[in-house]
Structure 1
Amino acid sequence: MSDIYLVPGLRTPFVKAGGVYAKHSSIDLSVPLVREMAGRARPDFVVWGQVITHPDVSNIAREVVLDAGVDPTIPAFSTTLACSTSFMAAIEAGAMLGRGGAHLALVGGSESMSHVPIALKQRVADELMFLFAKDRAAAAERLARIGAGDFNLPARGWANRKSGRSMGEHTEDTVKRFAISREDQDAQALASHQGAIRGWDEGFFTDLVLPFDGVAADNLPRRDTSPEKLAGLKPAFDPANGTITAGNASPLTDGAAALWVADREGLARLGAEPTVRLVDWELAAIDYLDGDEGMLMAPARAIPRLLARHGLRFADIASWNVHEAFAAQVVANLRLAADASYRKERAGVDVDLGEFPWQHVNPHGGSIALGHPFAATGARVLSQAAKELAALPSGSRGIVSLCADGGSGTVGLLERV
């Protein structure tokens, strides 16, 4: 298989759902990125993702290519793996390079969390479909009687289908099971905001972000946050005993993000040097229905397995970019990946990985501060990680880690060439 290289792409500024992007669809958010990037080089194919799907869009990747007005003969397909969606798009694209004449892929994802389709319950939809086929007047009469009880409303914040519980409720299980303190969660959240603000102040994000609809920068990082302000927020998922708050959890966000995945021939077409290589990846999953760990603990298995496979220790990794669905999930996954007993029992890795370097986690902020448009986060994290590694000496390595609904985890090993 050809070497797989990552070249940072573009993203929209990330903004709070229900705000300035509320009039835009996921396709709207995606189009300027694809148009701008395809103007630099023609990709051999496009992989794009969306988690909150809409009934009138069967293949968002193809719709984005067509709406962007780029070469309509560019193939495009969609992918979904919850919060790891555009990370999975990069893995899929990388596996295709060097085959079928493909050398350069444009991958990414977008999410408009301002626009959540509301579906009819299946029995009601079936009844209406039957009536429309047999008796349109009766169908119209039934439509007139549609009430709140006939809809599947997202009242529980994108609850998991199997458990019926939200990610926040599952992560409260993680907090209790592993005694993750409120102070540690708030400290992780504060570090995320500080890193994001520093990144914007120092110009790190300037060439990664394409202004959209009058917005030039993320509007979620809080310059004025503090330990005291974070400590004053009320629990969001367990009012009586919880520790997860709006301050130490990722916010509902609108945005889109993209990056390039290429082999050497594709890099030449981009006019880019081989700088950051995607060396390997590890996909993991846990049985979140049979245990008390919570939903988002698969990275604690995937990280040790990936490091052990390459004979690496924590100290060999210069840059860690870890998706922050919740601060508690970050702390728990990294703490337990570094716990020898847990690592041996749950990941099947019985090697000494050393002390975990917390100072190298999310140096330019994570999803708590920057925001989390589900399908866009993987591409945002990969572009950020690739840019950070490009500034480090040859041979430097990075880890990218994303947890996802359904008990999944996706971890990648990157290397500065």
Structure 2
Amino acid sequence: MPTTPYRPDIWLASGLRTPFAKVDGALAQHDAIGLSVPVVQAMLAQLRGANPDFAIWGSVVPNLTWSNLAREVLMDAGAPPTITALSTVMACSTSMIGVFEAAGMLNGHSRRLALVGGVESMSRVQIGLGQTLSDWLRKFQKTRTVGEKLQHLASLKLADVGLYIPAVTNRTTGMSMGEHTEITAKQWRIGREAQDRSALASHRNAVAAWERGFFDDLVIPIGDVRHDGIPRKDTTAEKLGKLPPAFDRTSGHGTLSAGNSSPLTDGAASIWVATEEGLASLPASVPRVRLIDWEIAAIDFRHEGLLMAPAFAIPRLLARQGLRYEDIALWEIHEAFSAQVLFHIEALEDEAFLRERAGVDAGFGAFPRDRVNPTGGSVAIGHPFGATGARILSQAVKELAAMPAGSRAIVTICADGGQGSVALLEAA
């Protein structure tokens, strides 16, 4: 008789991260490896007589200097070279997908503990040659005689001399995330005032969390930089309301501004993924919760909003688990934009959307808005693309671990390309 494979319980233990800083700000001198190395070193220093069985690290913006970022980071961090390392990417969901990948790889005996994380250095984006110029240079390198070189030089046209500069746009549509979000915000009638209120709450929650010491054991210093540089204690609804539209500047109806959108950000973040046996390697003081389930959704963003996928994934996960919104004590929703959080919530409360578009024939009750991002979200804290998954999960783990046993959290991230990821966590 075949036996069912042993599937261990999977735990998440909160990890460490750098402070987050706006692009070209306090962390601008560090590239992706330079930001990641101190985080990995601090994580490895927590372990008691053990090493992780493998590591997964991710970044969204490409760099020609390396192909397997995870391996380079571990080597520069002085980690034992016997730790296998692989890199991953799924836009803003990158390090959350890394967590799901690690969860699937752990088996409770030969693989018990994984180090997962991600990074983005938006200040150190590498500019490359355009494809035509790259092709020309490769062929030029193959020429042997002076005549061949002169002939090849004569073939180069001024129009061929171009640079490739990575941009925060969708390749298929050519539109930025903000431009897409403006369209979806208008479709769901999400106004400027509501977006600014949401952004203000994010800043106030992040500032209050820093002031009461919530982030003290989650953030390590990088040189003289010890705190997130983006949360604004002095911001107000009036100040936010005076900022001009950032993405729709011509119609007179633009609602997204620099104040209610997440800024381009530098930073790195990490998290532990473990079986119960793997948790024994961590200090008891490190918060940990169970990873119960997850869902990954992909939608046709030519017809749906580019960042709408979590609104499809959340009801599918809850229906599978037999849960309602009120059963979730904590909601950590990545704030690419305040508008995106608000139209997700609108969709989750729309039974026609749930039935006809998400394919879930169930109602989940009123959405508990007061349980969303209690210690601040990406609009206030920042959004280094590859790092956000580990940041938001670690933050949720610490918040949830302080709640009564059995309390649950939903953590969601929207991603470019019409994709999104959702995790269901439970306090032990």
TM-score range, shorter chain: over 0.9
Match for residue 397 of structure 2?
Answer: 386
Instruction: Please tell me whether residue 25 in structure 1 is matched to residue 31 in structure 2.
Output: yes
Residues 187/136 of structure 1: CA separation in 2 closer, same or farther (3 Å cut): farther
Instruction: Please tell me whether residue 283 in structure 1 is matched to residue 296 in structure 2.
Output: yes
Tell me the alpha carbon deviations over residues 328-363 of structure 1, each in whole angstroms, 9 at most, x when there is no partner. 111001210121111111111111200000000000
The correspondence for 1:130, drawn from 133, 139, 160, is: 139
Return the letter of the residue paired with 1:285. A
CA distance in 2, matches of 1:317, 1:28: 37
Tell me the alpha carbon deviations over residues 202-239 of structure 1, each in whole angstroms, 9 at most, x when there is no partner. 10000000000210000000001111011100001110
CA distance in 2, matches of 1:404, 1:268: 34
Q: Is the 8 A contact 1:15 1:255 kept in 2?
A: yes
Match for residue 3 of structure 2?
Answer: none
Instruction: Please tell me whether residue 264 in structure 1 is matched to residue 276 in structure 2.
Output: yes
The correspondence for 1:410, drawn from 421, 424, 428, is: 421
Root-mean-square deviation (Å): 1.9
Larger radius of gyration: 2
CA distance in 2, matches of 1:309, 1:141: 63
Q: Is the 8 A contact 2:14 2:395 kept in 1?
A: yes
Match for residue 207 of structure 2?
Answer: 197
What are the residue-to-residue correspondences of 1:352-391 with 2, within 5 Å? 352-391=363-402
Instruction: Please tell me whether residue 117 in structure 1 is matched to residue 126 in structure 2.
Output: yes
> C-alpha displacement at 1:152, in angstroms?
2.1
Match for residue 4 of structure 2?
Answer: none
Match for residue 324 of structure 1?
Answer: 335
Q: Tell me the TM-score normalised to structure 1 length.
A: 0.95
Q: Is the 8 A contact 1:109 1:256 kept in 2?
A: yes
Say how many residue pairs are matched.
Answer: 413
Match for residue 97 of structure 1?
Answer: 106
3-state SS of paired residue (1:82): coil
3-state SS of paired residue (1:413): strand
Q: Is the 8 A contact 1:51 1:80 kept in 2?
A: yes
CA distance in 1, matches of 2:36, 2:372: 28
> C-alpha displacement at 1:102, in angstroms?
0.5
Return the letter of the residue paired with 1:286. I
Instruction: Please tell me whether residue 166 in structure 1 is matched to residue 176 in structure 2.
Output: yes
Match for residue 237 of structure 1?
Answer: 247
Q: Is the 8 A contact 1:83 1:404 kept in 2?
A: yes
- Gaps of at least 5 residues in structure 2 are 1-6
Residues 51/146 of structure 1: CA separation in 2 closer, same or farther (3 Å cut): farther
Return the letter of the residue paired with 1:113. M
Q: Is the 8 A contact 2:57 2:118 kept in 1?
A: yes
Q: Is the 8 A contact 2:312 2:358 kept in 1?
A: yes
Return the letter of the residue paired with 1:111. E
3-state SS of paired residue (1:52): coil
Match for residue 41 of structure 2?
Answer: 35
- Deviating runs (4+, > 6 A) in structure 1? 142-148
Residues 135/124 of structure 1: CA separation in 2 closer, same or farther (3 Å cut): farther
Q: Is the 8 A contact 2:230 2:380 kept in 1?
A: yes
- Gaps of at least 5 residues in structure 1 are none
Return the letter of the residue paired with 1:159. T
Q: Tell me the TM-score normalised to structure 2 length.
A: 0.93
Q: Is the 8 A contact 1:172 1:294 kept in 2?
A: no
Match for residue 267 of structure 2?
Answer: 255
Match for residue 355 of structure 2?
Answer: 344
Residues 277/116 of structure 1: CA separation in 2 closer, same or farther (3 Å cut): same
CA distance in 2, matches of 1:136, 1:216: 57
- How much identity, in percent, do the aligned residues show? 54
CA distance in 2, matches of 1:202, 1:14: 18
CA distance in 2, matches of 1:142, 1:314: 67
CA distance in 1, matches of 2:156, 2:138: 15
CA distance in 2, matches of 1:191, 1:142: 61
> C-alpha displacement at 1:147, in angstroms?
7.8
> C-alpha displacement at 1:153, in angstroms?
2.7
